Structures are given as structure tokens and as C-alpha cells.
Structure 1
Amino acid sequence: MLEMLSLLACLTCAEAAPLPPIGDGAPVDVELVLAVDISQSMDEEEFALQRAGYVEALRHPDFINAVRAGSRGRIALAYFEWAGVVRDDGVIAWQVIDNEDSANAFADKIAARPFRSFRGTSISGALGFGAGLLESAGFSAPRRVVDISGDGPNNTGLPVAAIRDAAVARGIVINGLPILISPSPSVSHLDRYYADCVTGGAGSFVLPIYAASEFSTAIRRKLIQEVSGLTDARAIRVEDPTPVDCLLGERLRHRYSDPYFPELDR
């Protein structure tokens, strides 16, 4: 299965970034990967709100207290940005977070990143890459989590549900933060899409964002829940029970636009 996940990550990321250095076997309460959408469907305002939400959440005393309240009092954290591919300059390497200073240092790295976006939305590529980060992390952790945000369905790379299932089979939990501030009329149930097609694993959840004012609070609540390992029913707010097609994005791509070729964006 490890070979399968590595292969999937390479196949779905045409310019796949090299994996950051692994840990040294240090015990942590959770290995947490933050996978952040920077596709062109995210406008600069949404992107700025998303980034500020992560930075503010990592600096917040409630997040730091949640980290310190764990049985080991520390977590391992990695971050990467994705669109149609994951690029090497979009990855922040694994770091142990165990106090205010280390949390602020990681937040500083995110805040310092330049704004950019590029074509395609490969959730499957992001999940494959995130799973690869976890498989190579080298820490000792009872929980491994990929936290993925995005504002559209998978439209390039391998089918997202297949990659999700492969990751979950390895004991990885996938939580979703679908962004519905400016929803596309052709994708009316992105929250349900994330619930049915993207997230999975024991205790996994979806936390949709429907308004710009929700970013900071929602991201903080989500990170605290992931660090603590507790389930907060208030965070699971998928309002429409209508089942969705997990190949929705691929069908829309072929119907409304030219096929996506990563080499056009290099």
C-alpha cells in the first residue's frame, strides 16, 4: 500500500515537490498535514482570508493550550499549497510544535509566503502528497491527519475517492474545510461532495465555511479539534443531504473547458 500511495502522489503531481526531511522518531500526539488550496478559482481576497485564518489559529492561545494539553504535549506539523500540482516551493517542512514560540515560528513561515495561484484542482494529488508526507514523517504518533481546504471539486489527476480510500486504509484521517463563500452555480453541494468523496477515517469531519467572517473561527476550531482528537458535533455542518457524484469535477472540466495539462503552467 505504501508503494501505491507513493505512486499515486507522483502520478497526480506533475511537478511533485520533494518530501521534507523526516522526524527522528520523536513521540508526538498527532502528525498533522495542512493542505491549502491555491487554485485560480480562489481569488486574492479569499486566499488572504484563508491564509490569515491559519496564521491566526496557530498563534491563538486556545490552539497552543490544546497542543500542550495532549499526553505528550507536542505535535508534528507540515504545510503545503496545492492546485493542479504540488510545487517544491509550496511546502513547509515538518516541525514540532510544543509551545508558543514554535507555533509562532511556524505561523511566521506561512505568513511570509507570497500570494500566487495556478491552474487545476487536484484534490486527489493533494491527498496523495499529504499521505506521502505522513508515511515518511518518522515521528511516533497515535494519530495521522490530513487537513484539506478547497473551493471546488477534483478536476484533474486520479479519482479523488480512490486516493481517499487508499489513505484511510493506511490509518490516515482526512478532514475537510470546503469554502463556499462564492459557490459556483455548477457545484451546488461542495460540502456534501467533501463529506462523500474527500474526507474519511475514524472521527473525520467536514467544516464548511459559508461567509468570510467565519474563516478565522472555523480554522481555529478545526485545528483544535484535530490536535485534541475530540469530536465536536457543532463542527460537522453539512446542510444538504443530497448525494453527489464523486466525478463531478472531471465531468464539468470535460464539458466546459479544455483538458488541463500541467506543462502549460510551467
Structure 2
Amino acid sequence: MRRRSLLAASGAAMLPALPSRAEGAVDLLLVLAVDVSRSIDDDEARLQREGYRSAMTDPRIIEAIRAGMLGAIAVAYVEWAGSDYQRLVIPWTRIGSPVEAEGWAATLARAPRVALSWTSISGGLDFSMRTLSESPFEGTRRVIDVSGDGVNNSGLPVEAVRDRVVAEGVTINGLPIINDRPTFGRPSPVPLDQYYRDSVIGGEGAFLIAAEDFASFGNAVRRKMVREIAGLPGPVFG
């Protein structure tokens, strides 16, 4: 019940209503699962959101979407922090044209932001899997796209949740942000890109693309989304 109350209190009412079931088929169901833990300050959060907004409206992304057999994807935007906080910021939205992409980007620009402590990648993956199960669209592929700047330090072990999600036929791709600021909680025992490779990503064609810092995040998002939408095989590192 607490997770449901957090969803209601986080401004979900200002977002478009969820579409009815059986909205139709798309080439890809894509959950963008974004870290909003305390290690990410306001400037970094803005860079993250701007990265996703500019990527979604980039002509290369639109071209990749329209090149699919069905010419459309469905996207859900999730923010996560500790094990007790995950939020559906933008519900499932069909994107198959520049107009639909611009509408999605405008919705993200209006959405309020909440920053909380701790980093539960496992909680974010679990919530993303439930979001996939509630999609009103049918997708030929299902992908969870996880971005963050720290290791799992809250909730279940991320490897166990990763394995469970992959067993359901879902691919998990990663966008680790190599942040030079201090993190909260347990530091990574290995470089963050290696941690994502070993403990977070998985499934058919899984890959990661690391952002060297928040300033380079937008370019990394575009590169990764083109590969995800086009269904190009992994792994790719760096």
C-alpha cells in the first residue's frame, strides 16, 4: 500500500491516463528505469531528463522506430531510489511519429522530481517488470533500460532479481554513469561499468553503454536507444 500511496502523491494525476488494454502491437516495449537517489543532485537530474527528452525526439531515434516492422514502440518512464520508492512518471505511451515523441518529451518536462536516499537497482528492476506486465500494448520484444550512478545498496540482491527478470524473456540493458562525486552507502567494489556488466544487465542481446559523466549522458542515451530500438545485438561496453 505504501508504494501505491507514493505513486498517487508524486503527481501521477497530472499525467495522461493509462490507455485501455489491448491498444495494439508495437515493435518494442521499453521501460526507461532512471535512478533518482540522493547521490544525484538537481543539476544532474536535469541533465538526465534532458538527455531522455532530446534522445526521444532525435531524428535518428524516430528513424529507428519507423524502420521497425510495425513502425512504433511503447515506452514507460520509471524513477527509482531505495527499495521502498519506485514511481511511474509517464505511463505506457505509443511513439511512432515526431509528434508523439514531442508530446512524450513535453510530458517529461512537466513531471515533478523527487530525490531520495539509497540505491535499489533490484527494486527498480522489480517495479519495471511489474510495469511491463501491465502494459496495454503487445510488444515483439521487451527491454528494461536501467541508468544510475551507484551500486545496489538497498533491498534484495540485484543479481537474484536480474536472473528472475531475464528468465521471463526480458532483456536488461545498462547505462552506468561514471560520476566523480561521492556516493552514499556501500561503494562499488569494482568500476561501475564492470559492476553493471556483471550484476545488472542480462538477457538476449544485452549490452551497456557507459556515460563518462552526467554531461555526456545525453549522447550515451541516444546511442543506446538507437541500438535498443533497432534490436542490434550486444554486448557493447564503453
TM bucket, shorter chain: 0.7 to 0.9
Distance 1:15 1:147, change over 3 A: farther
Distance 1:87 1:206, change over 3 A: closer
Distance 1:123 1:232, change over 3 A: closer
- The structure with the largest strand share of the pair is 2
Q: What corresponds to 2:219 in structure 1?
A: 217
Q: Deviations over 1:132-176 (max 9, x none)?
A: 111221422221000010111111111111110000000000001
- 3-state SS, counterpart of residue 30 of structure 2: strand
How far the C-alpha of 1:223 sits from its partner, in A, is 0.9
Whole-angstrom CA distance in 2 between matches of 1:22 and 1:76? 14
Any conservation in 2 of the 1:22–1:94 contact (CA below 8 Å)?
A: no
Q: What corresponds to 2:80 in structure 1?
A: 82
Q: What corresponds to 1:166 in structure 2?
A: 164
Q: What corresponds to 1:179 in structure 2?
A: 177
Any conservation in 1 of the 2:176–2:192 contact (CA below 8 Å)?
A: yes
Q: Which amino acid is the alignment partner of residue 215 of structure 1?
A: F
- 3-state SS, counterpart of residue 147 of structure 2: strand
Whole-angstrom CA distance in 2 between matches of 1:51 and 1:226? 18
Any conservation in 1 of the 2:29–2:74 contact (CA below 8 Å)?
A: yes
The TM-score with structure 1 as length reference comes to: 0.78
Q: What corresponds to 1:244 in structure 2?
A: none
- 3-state SS, counterpart of residue 27 of structure 1: strand
Distance 1:190 1:93, change over 3 A: same
Any conservation in 2 of the 1:22–1:136 contact (CA below 8 Å)?
A: no
- 3-state SS, counterpart of residue 199 of structure 1: coil
Higher mean displacement: 74-83 or 134-143:
134-143
Q: What corresponds to 2:15 in structure 1?
A: none
Give the number of aligned pairs: 225
Whole-angstrom CA distance in 2 between matches of 1:122 and 1:232? 25
How far the C-alpha of 1:47 sits from its partner, in A, is 1.2
1:32 to 16, 30, 40: 30
Q: Deviations over 1:30-49 (max 9, x none)?
A: 00000011000112221111
Residue 44 (str. 1) matches residue 31 (str. 2): no
Whole-angstrom CA distance in 2 between matches of 1:190 and 1:65? 31
For 1:141-152, list aligned pairs within 5 A.
Answer: 141-152=139-150
Whole-angstrom CA distance in 2 between matches of 1:154 and 1:23? 34
The TM-score with structure 2 as length reference comes to: 0.86
Identity level (%): 42
- 3-state SS, counterpart of residue 74 of structure 2: strand
For 1:53-72, list aligned pairs within 5 A.
Answer: 53-72=51-70
Q: What corresponds to 1:240 in structure 2?
A: none
- 3-state SS, counterpart of residue 137 of structure 2: coil
Any conservation in 1 of the 2:162–2:200 contact (CA below 8 Å)?
A: yes
2:200 to 193, 198, 201: 198
Q: Which amino acid is the alignment partner of residue 155 of structure 2?
A: G
Higher mean displacement: 90-99 or 112-121:
112-121
Whole-angstrom CA distance in 1 between matches of 2:127 and 2:86? 11
Question: Gaps (5+ residues) in structure 2?
Answer: 13-17
Q: Which amino acid is the alignment partner of residue 237 of structure 2?
A: I
How far the C-alpha of 1:115 sits from its partner, in A, is 3.4
Q: What corresponds to 1:112 in structure 2?
A: 110
Whole-angstrom CA distance in 1 between matches of 2:99 and 2:146? 25
Whole-angstrom CA distance in 2 between matches of 1:202 and 1:25? 26
Whole-angstrom CA distance in 2 between matches of 1:151 and 1:15? 27
Any conservation in 2 of the 1:22–1:137 contact (CA below 8 Å)?
A: no
- 3-state SS, counterpart of residue 171 of structure 1: coil
Whole-angstrom CA distance in 2 between matches of 1:142 and 1:26? 11
Distance 1:150 1:212, change over 3 A: closer
Any conservation in 2 of the 1:23–1:94 contact (CA below 8 Å)?
A: no
Q: Which amino acid is the alignment partner of residue 107 of structure 2?
A: K
Distance 1:23 1:86, change over 3 A: farther
